[in-house]
Structure 1
Amino acid sequence: MSLFMSRQGNDTDISGFLLVGFAETQQVRLMIFVMLLSLYMITLMTNMTIILILKSDPELNTPMYFFLMHLACLEACYLSVIIPKLLENLLAKTSIISFQGCAMQMFLFLFFGVAECFLLAAMAFDRYVAICYPLRYTIIMSRNVCWRMVTGSYVCGTIVGLVHTTVTFHLPFCGVTVNHFFCEIQPLLELVCGDTFLNEVQVIGVALFAIMLPFLLIILSYMGIIFTITRMPVLESRYKAFSTCSSHLIVVVLFYGTASSMYLKPKSSYSPPVDKVLSFSYTVLTPLLNPIIYSLRNKEIQGALRKLWKKMALQKL
């Protein structure tokens, strides 16, 4: 511990942290490394493939696929903030991260995570306009409006990331052992000297803005969608309208369900084993499942992928 902490008077200087990671599974460290590396490569490949498909096919130049392209990019970056360091620590005997590295990891994790929350809300609004106002869809969801929504998502991510990171890393730490596999807010608060009640209130308050506000917008959008679908006279039209939203709904449930259960609770209810599983769900499993959900359930993306394969095959001949 003396490598990471030094005292000057009444102050404690922290130069780094020890990440406990999955200490319960040290015996199968190599197997976890192979599994995570495989999941990471699959997720990067699927997200990059989606971006390539959407960029190469002019027929997919619509607001829905514009948002989907940014979602794929966000999730590739979001995952890359956590997994490379985790893989490095699995191979090393000690899981060390510098003070500055920990702060940067927290900021980037929050930036990409919060941006994804608001981007999912933008995607829900896009589906609401497409189903409820189809004749005015191209006017309402103009390219300018889409870019403003995406930019707004990134701005919200930046604000939340800066607030949480700045406040957390200006607190006095009395320990360096983080009982987690990355620099998450709750396990870092466990190391803070003294009472952290105000910091817990801040975490929950920001989470209400970053998680519950976009989730409320998604709920309102789908209330309007459901109301419109139930009024459609033709059953086939109802099925087609709902099928365009089902993939987005699955992603929303996966992402918001795990993230809200992690952030919308006090520090006293923090349970390292349970919360590691929750964090693993929204940092690894959700980015892996999202492109699979969208690509397997979307005939247009499947068709565009086939066209791209044929084009690449012809170029090789």
Structure 2
Amino acid sequence: MHPLIRLSQDLEDMNESEITEFILIGFSGHPKTKIGLAALMTIIYLGNIIGNGLILFVVIADPRLHNPMYFFLCNLSIIDICLCTSSVPQSIANCLVDRPVMSFAKCYIQMYTGIYLGSTECFLLAVMAYDRYVAISNPLRYMLIMNWKVCIVLAIVSWTIAFLLAIVPCLANPAHFCGHNEVDHFACELTAIMKLICSNMSVGQLSMYFTSTGTILFPFCFILFSYARILVAILRIHSSGSRLKAFSTCGSHLAVVLVFFGNAIALYIKPQSKDKQASDKIIYIFNQALVPMLNPLIYTLRNQDVLGALKKVVGKNLQS
């Protein structure tokens, strides 16, 4: 082998091995923005923990809520708590220091955790849409069709498929870096890390589109199809009170779906480039922090069963 070729390969191998940490530049040069962002994310994070924690507490404490709908809602709350916790506290800390640094391993753990939990939420929302379709189209056979065995299997399948479609491809096709370790973000986010890859980016984009189709577009299309069937079933209900209750229950779920998938599509389905985009950071905050906080608000403010159970539990605690 020619000496110059060998030297070039040695330098390339050395550069790839140099990456042991990432510098998250985020909003460097904008200290006021960073402080304001840290304060905002702190409030949102506390709201997320309190709101989703209350849902878990109320559903577990009230036997009347021990049914498939609230079983899946508890799964959603657990995902939202873990999703927010996996990134927001570290992002807050990164906003409070001048030169935030994360080790290679810690950065990748944060990125993979966010990908996995976000993908699991996509499939879980699809399962919840199917649950609502069965409840409205077959109310008399609902508990027979959605028995506890079926519910547990659907939950396990959601967690498992998300891992197989989102994490396994990433592990099977590891990225190669060329010494650049400045991430234009305040968290280890997939699209921001991809901008540092020195290998052919088209391969990474192709893998991302494949994963995004399986974890985002397919569940989203399934949800839209389910709600089209739900709308037809609701219109066939003769009682105006029952029809209104069905619209209210399904409307809250659909609101969660539109907010969550809208942001996911904007962040991961659009073509990626090497350019820095501040909009990606805003969308990331919305998807990782604000949406998990909105879920308990959307589900509880228009759900009389949850509100009634919450008042009952709080009343008992006050009396004791």
Name the TM-score class by shorter chain.
over 0.9
SS in 1 for 2:78: helix
Residue in structure 2 matched with residue 220 of structure 1 by the alignment: 225
**AA aligned opposite 1:119:** L
Residue in structure 2 matched with residue 153 of structure 1 by the alignment: 158
Please, which of 64, 67, 86 is the counterpart of residue 62 of structure 1? 67
Residue in structure 2 matched with residue 163 of structure 1 by the alignment: 168
Bigger mean CA deviation after superposition, 173-182 or 199-208: 173-182
Change in CA separation of 1:71 and 1:145 when aligned onto 2, cut-off 3 Å = same
Please, which of 245, 259, 263 is the counterpart of residue 250 of structure 2? 245
Please, which of 301, 305, 309 is the counterpart of residue 300 of structure 1? 305
Residue in structure 1 matched with residue 104 of structure 2 by the alignment: 99
Change in CA separation of 1:92 and 1:271 when aligned onto 2, cut-off 3 Å = closer
2-structure distance, mates of 1:167, 1:188: 17
Change in CA separation of 1:270 and 1:156 when aligned onto 2, cut-off 3 Å = farther
1-structure distance, mates of 2:64, 2:29: 49
Instruction: Name the TM-score, length of structure 2 as normaliser.
Output: 0.92
Residue in structure 2 matched with residue 16 of structure 1 by the alignment: 21
1:266-292 deviation line (CA, Å, top 9, x unaligned): 223865211111111111110111111
SS in 2 for 1:268: coil
2-structure distance, mates of 1:161, 1:105: 14
Residue in structure 2 matched with residue 52 of structure 1 by the alignment: 57
Please, which of 29, 32, 36 is the counterpart of residue 34 of structure 2? 29
Equivalence map 1:103-182=2 (5 Å): 103-167=108-172, 169-182=174-187
User: What is the number of residues matched between the two proteins?
Assistant: 309
2-structure distance, mates of 1:124, 1:173: 44
Bigger mean CA deviation after superposition, 197-206 or 176-185: 176-185
Q: Which runs of 5+ in 1 are unaligned?
A: 1-6
1:164/1:203 contact within 8 Å kept: no
Bigger mean CA deviation after superposition, 215-224 or 138-147: 215-224
1:259/1:282 contact within 8 Å kept: yes
1-structure distance, mates of 2:186, 2:226: 36
SS in 1 for 2:90: helix
Change in CA separation of 1:271 and 1:252 when aligned onto 2, cut-off 3 Å = farther
2-structure distance, mates of 1:30, 1:268: 28
**AA aligned opposite 2:216:** I
1-structure distance, mates of 2:206, 2:130: 30
**AA aligned opposite 1:204:** Y
Matched-pair identity in %: 34
2:22/2:101 contact within 8 Å kept: yes
SS in 2 for 1:23: coil
Q: Which runs of 5+ in 2 are unaligned?
A: 1-8
2:23/2:99 contact within 8 Å kept: yes
Residue in structure 2 matched with residue 277 of structure 1 by the alignment: 282
Instruction: Name the TM-score, length of structure 1 as normaliser.
Output: 0.92
**AA aligned opposite 1:134:** P
Residue in structure 1 matched with residue 201 of structure 2 by the alignment: 196
Please report the RMSD computed on the Cα atoms of aligned residues, expressed in angstroms.
1.8
Runs of 4+ in 1 over 3 A off after TM superposition: 167-170
1-structure distance, mates of 2:34, 2:126: 38
2-structure distance, mates of 1:33, 1:268: 27
2:195/2:273 contact within 8 Å kept: no
Equivalence map 1:78-93=2 (5 Å): 78-93=83-98
Please, which of 201, 208, 215 is the counterpart of residue 210 of structure 1? 215
Equivalence map 1:253-272=2 (5 Å): 253-268=258-273, 271-272=276-277
